[in-house]
Amino acid sequence: MKKWSIYSIAILSLLTLTSCEAVETIFKAGMWWGIILVCAIVVILLLIFSKGKNS
């Protein structure tokens, strides 16, 4: 019975989420991670250059 409920949940989720919605969700998450990483790299580079300029 436990296996049946896991399979039914998986099938239900596959039928309710279309592939376009799944891909859209993945790209939204990827976009935010990309923005965060780019901002972090820019801050690190600014810190490195500002310390080199003070020395």
User: Using CA atoms, how far apart are residues 4 and 17, in angstroms rounded to an integer?
Assistant: 20
**Total tally of structural domains belonging to the chain:** 1
Examine residue 10 and state whether it is found in any structural domain, yes or no. no
pLDDT per residue as tens digits for the range 6-47: 777 777 776 776 667 767 777 777 888 888 989 999 999 999
Whether the predicted model's global pTM rises above the 0.75 cut: no
- Residue 33: which of 25, 7, 48 has the closest Cα? 25
State which amino acid sits at residue 49.
F
Instruction: Say if 2 falls within a structural domain.
Output: no
Domain span at residue 53 reads 18-55
In a domain, 6, yes or no: no
